[in-house]
Amino acid sequence: MKKISHPTITFLAITTLALTITGWCWNQLSPFLSGIFVFDIKEYFKTSFYGIILCTIWLYTTRKRHKETIKLFHAKKERMNQGYQSLQKELKQKEIQIEQLQYKLTCQQSDINKKATLQKELRNLNAQRDILLQEIIQHSDARTKIEHILIDYKQKGHSKETLSEKDWRSLANELDQKDIILQYSNQFCFTPSEQNYCYLLLTDYSATDRGKLLQLTRQTVYRREHDILTKLGENYEAGKLKNIVRKWVN
């Protein structure tokens, strides 16, 4: 048998106390107000009782749905962690293969056809490595936390979780391994929030989601883009900053 949660007990206790006090007050005042109002205490308590039952059912189902969502999230996170470890091993193998192939190319001088074949194989391996890197990014802890925050906003309209400095550094390492954005940030004196906004422009998150992750309103998001473009000496145009930032990194 499941225990009743503390929020449910508190809710029932407060509701019962309020109904008891209200009923007592009405009972005391009813002789004086009988000429003005018609009281039916039994009907009142009957309605209140049904109200308590409905509220309890609603509270129970809401809490149960929330627990199921959390359970699914943790199961998804566990699967993502397992996938992340598998991808890391696969990436390491690709790196070794690329290194070996590069060594073969260095040693290969005379046979042009064989060298061309090795170069083609190297391009294919590099492409496979890039795909693996993108998959690893999607399985990272920072991305998992981002998804959790966005789920909270979708279900509750807010989230108690926020991205820490460590999360932002992790995201930066995944998206901008050469620290290009950091260099421009230092050059044009971006604030930490402006720098983090630039990292989010390298993802596919919408302007609304970017605002949620930075705790900005939709209007403030566009103002943030305008401020960054002003520092870069550019006029505001929709999508312009995203194109600029992606050109930096690519």
Distance from C-alpha of 227 to C-alpha of 160, rounded to nearest angstrom: 28
Q: Quick one: pLDDT at residue 239?
A: 87
Distance from C-alpha of 188 to C-alpha of 185, rounded to nearest angstrom: 5
Q: Can you list the residues of the chain whose pLDDT is less than 50? A: 1-4, 37
Q: Quick one: pLDDT at residue 2?
A: 46
User: Which whole-number Å values give the CA distances from 210 to 31, 105, 198, 244, in the listed order?
Assistant: 62, 44, 10, 17
Tokens 């932002």 correspond to what residue?
168
User: Which whole-number Å values give the CA distances from 218 to 139, 160, 209, 225, 227, in the listed order?
Assistant: 27, 19, 9, 11, 15
Tokens 């004196």 correspond to what residue?
189
Distance from C-alpha of 57 to C-alpha of 38, rounded to nearest angstrom: 31
Q: Hey, what amino acid is at 165?
A: E
Q: Quick one: pLDDT at residue 99?
A: 78
For residue 16, give every residue at least 6 positions away whose Cβ sits within 8 Å of its Cβ, in sequence order, or none.
Answer: 52
- Half-sphere exposure in the Cβ direction for 119 (13 Å, CA): 9
Nearest to 84 by CA among 132, 130, 125, 145: 132
SS3 of 250, please? Answer: coil
Q: Quick one: pLDDT at residue 196?
A: 93
Contact 165, 142 (CB under 8 A): no
User: Which whole-number Å values give the CA distances from 41 to 14, 45, 48, 162, 234, in the listed order?
Assistant: 20, 6, 10, 50, 72
Contact 198, 190 (CB under 8 A): yes
Distance from C-alpha of 61 to C-alpha of 225, rounded to nearest angstrom: 42
Its pTM stands at 0.51
Contact 213, 149 (CB under 8 A): yes
Contact 126, 98 (CB under 8 A): yes
Contact 137, 174 (CB under 8 A): yes
